[in-house]
Structure 1
Amino acid sequence: MDWSDRIGRRLKLRDLHILMAVADAGSMAKAAGRLRISHPAVSKAISEVEGTLGVRLFDRSSQGAELTAYGEVLLRCGTNIFDEMQQGLRSLESLSDPNTGEVRLGCTDIILHSLTPAIVRRFSRQHPGVQLDVRLTNPGQHQIQELRERKIDLLITRATGLQQDFNSEVLFDEPFVFVIGAQSEFARKRRPALTDIIKRNWVLPPYDSAPGGLIAAVFEANGFAPPKPTVKTIAIQLTVSLIASGEFVGILPASVAALSAHRTVLKALPLKAAGPRISAEIVFLRNRTLSPAVRAFIACAQEVTKSLVRAL
């Protein structure tokens, strides 16, 4: 296929925009309504692109239009092209006013309620004109998919395992600590130990989850079989609240115990718990142009976590 004759001169940004609208709406009629153009105009544009490329982009039916494998590939291209254009426009805006832009940040629950507030406070002081869109993302493949679809610019999460199309930078790694309520009966002891709390009410992630597997290894490294938790949950706010009540005990990453909103009513046992450590990573899409605001946010996150590592 000759680029200049068959694609370069004939495939336009408008065509890609229409294709993206049809894919999102699920039908040409609905896409026409959203674009405020006629249904025949949408149908003609798609047909002309299919003729130019020599492939079928949509399977049409009475239920609507569904992307073919060829259409999926072209849709990704269109998404990338429009995203790069948007990033370029943001860079142009920052040349005239560096204190502008937007950062769309995804965070898992445990990061959102510990590390994120410290980064957001410092960044907002340094760049008061930049808007932050902070979203809770579900762990696992869902958070990676949001990055791939460019719904977020950055992701701060626990270790993901680097995938081929992402850049991942470890901000810090840290140990787990055993945590009790500051007003609990154990906190009044001069040197409370794991043996004092091992038979108490534990609030822990399920052992078959990623954090639960690490926590099981912490118990084993300290010479104990992992106890049966009274409450199984990966919800960090619930975990911290229950520990703070003094009626439950648990294990948390050191930064969560230090940065949680309930930190004044938590007490980490004076133990050097052996076992695995856990890392926090900042992840973004490889080969994607990052706006000046996003690069500034990455730099700010690095500054905050350096200070954190020194304090832990």
Structure 2
Amino acid sequence: MTERPDYLVRRLRLRHLELLVALAEAGTMRAASGRLHLSQPALSKMLGELEAGFGARLFERSAQGLSPNALGQAVTYRARVMLGELAHGKDEVDALRNGADGVLRIGTLSVTAAVPQAVVRLREHMPAARVQIHEGRVRDMIQRLLDGELDCVFGAITPEVLTSDLLSLLKPELLLEDELCVLCAAGHVLARTRKLRWADVHALPWVAPPRDTLVRQALMTAFLNHGLEPPEPAIEVLSSVSVGTVLRLDSTLLAAVRFEHARDELARGEVRRLAVTPGVALPSLGLYTRRTEQAPAPLVQAFAQALRKVGVRPGRAGRHGPSASP
């Protein structure tokens, strides 16, 4: 018979939660024993206590080791979240002791003009807030959010996420539209051209991210829609810093970037946005939080409000904004 939740709360210790995560990641008692610095008999006893408490087998045993079954995966996910929240709780208490308003852990794509502006706006109203910005691929950031390592993630609201099993664990809020942008150096031969079609830029050398990115796929779609073979980039790079650098050093190149990246590069100067039509939309950008019964923490709510304030639509800051000026 499954134990009542309050009985589980009284019986389970943090070591039980750590054991769940260690076994799921290590796959053997021996490896988990080394990670937790406990004997294998002690771990076997703790696993027995866990499975007795939940009234079900959580791991399948085989000659290769242990692997979590469906129940074990669900419990391990919750264990990761609780351990992450405890770690965050300690960081927040330490910050509060030192006079901060709290700690906000944000995951975001590597280039965004909205996040820095929103963070500055947040600190204008909460100057003692401490903010940690973690950059990377959005799908990796979302996993860290679900594991309790992050408080929110700013990134593309993609069909992949909206149709996946993860959606039941996430609460996405659409905030900004996004689209494909073409950038060039201020000295590029096309920099002052008012109207361009995709055929006009087809034969030129491109800087673009890898094929598995939304931006590259949008660029390929732009050419395919007009019966053109997508060009192979002269330079394929994911780093936003490298994209901006090579554009400024080589005035023959064009770069395919998302709108948020374009905003950032235009603000730095020495680049222009080309008005290539028709435009190609990218999945809108938004804020992901974990789906819980409780409202998001005050810092997360304040950050979301700041994002709504600084959000700029492509039509307002694109072709007719900084890129159109000499």
- TM-score, normalized by length of structure 2? 0.73
2:16 and 2:50 in contact (8 A); partners too:
no
- 1:154 paired residue among 144, 152, 155: 152
Name the counterpart of 1:11: 8
How far off its partner does 1:115 sit? Answer: 3.1
Question: Are 2:146 and 1:145 aligned?
Answer: no
Q: Equivalent residues in 2 for 1:215-294 (5 A)?
A: 215-221=219-225, 224-245=228-249, 246-260=251-265, 263-269=268-274, 271=275, 273-278=277-282, 279-287=284-292, 289=294, 290-294=296-300
Matched position secondary structure for 2:253: coil
- Name the residue aligned to 2:322: none
SS in 2 for 1:120: helix
Q: CA deviation at 1:30?
A: 4.9
Please name the residue that 1:23 is paired with. Answer: 20
CA-CA distance at 1:213 after TM superposition: 1.8
Q: Aligned-pair distance for 1:120?
A: 2.2
Aligned partners of 1:42 and 1:227: how far apart in 2? 56
8 Å CA contact 1:18–1:31 kept in 2: the answer is no
**Cα RMSD (Å):** 4.0
Give SS of 2:116's match.
Answer: helix
> How many residues align structurally?
301
Deviation at 1:307, TM superposition (A): 7.8
- Which is further off, 74-83 or 227-236? 74-83
Shift of 1:288: 5.8
- 189-198 vs 203-212, greater mean Cα deviation: 189-198
Matched, 1:213 2:217: yes
SS in structure 1 at match of 2:77:
helix
Corresponding residue for residue 125 of structure 1: 124
Question: Contact between 1:90 and 1:291, CA under 8 Å: does it hold in 2?
Answer: no
Partner of 2:309: 303
CA–CA distance in structure 2, aligned partners of residues 15 and 282 of structure 1: 34
CA distance 1:229–1:45, shift in 2 (3 Å) = closer
Note the alpha carbon deviations across 1:143-198, whole angstroms, 9 max, x for none.
332222122111111232222322212211133232210123443x5647456643
Q: Please, which moves more after superposition, 203-212 or 291-300?
A: 203-212
Give the match for residue 321 of structure 2.
none
Deviation at 1:296, TM superposition (A): 0.9
Letter in 1 for 2:262: A
CA distance in structure 1 between the partners assigned to 2:53 and 2:212 by the alignment:
51
Q: Distance in 2 between matches of 1:75 and 1:16?
A: 14
Partner residue, 2:108: 107
The 8 Å contact of residues 114 and 307 in structure 2, kept in 1 or not, is answered as: no
Of 177, 181, 188 in structure 2, the residue corresponding to residue 177 of structure 1 is 181
The 1-side partners of 2:226 and 2:150 are apart by 40
CA distance in 2, matches of 1:300, 1:308: 18
After superposition, the Cα gap between the structure-2 partners of 1:46 and 1:305, relative to the gap in structure 1 and judged at 3 Å, is same
TM-score (norm. length: structure 1): 0.76
Shift of residue 124 of structure 1?
2.4
C-alpha spacing 1:178/1:49, structure 2 compared with 1 (3 Å): closer
- The alpha-carbon distance between structure 1 residues 311 and 193, as it changes in their structure 2 partners (threshold 3 A), is closer
Q: Which runs of 5+ in 2 are unaligned?
A: 24-28, 319-326
Identical aligned residues as a percent: 22
Query: How many Å separate the matches in 2 of 1:25 and 1:109?
Result: 30
Indicate how the Cα distance of structure 1 residues 43 and 126 shifts in structure 2: closer, same or farther if over 3 A, else same. same
Moved more, 57-66 or 171-180: 57-66
Seen in structure 2, the aligned counterparts of structure 1 residues 167 and 8 have a Cα distance that, compared at 3 Å, is closer
Bigger shift: 191-200 or 122-131?
A: 191-200
- SS of 1:167 mapped into structure 2: strand
- The answer to whether the Cα contact below 8 Å between 1:244 and 1:262 also exists between their aligned partners in 2 is no
Distance 1:64 1:30, change over 3 A: farther
Return the alpha-carbon distance in structure 2 between the equivalents of residues 261 and 14 of structure 1.
Answer: 58
Q: Secondary structure at the match of 1:218?
A: helix
Q: Which SS does the other structure have where 1:110 is aligned?
A: coil
Distance 1:21 1:186, change over 3 A: same
1:241 partner letter: T
Check the 8 A contact 1:105/1:155 in 2, yes or no.
Answer: yes
Structure 1: 5+ residue stretches without partners: none
Q: Distance in 2 between matches of 1:168 and 1:43?
A: 40
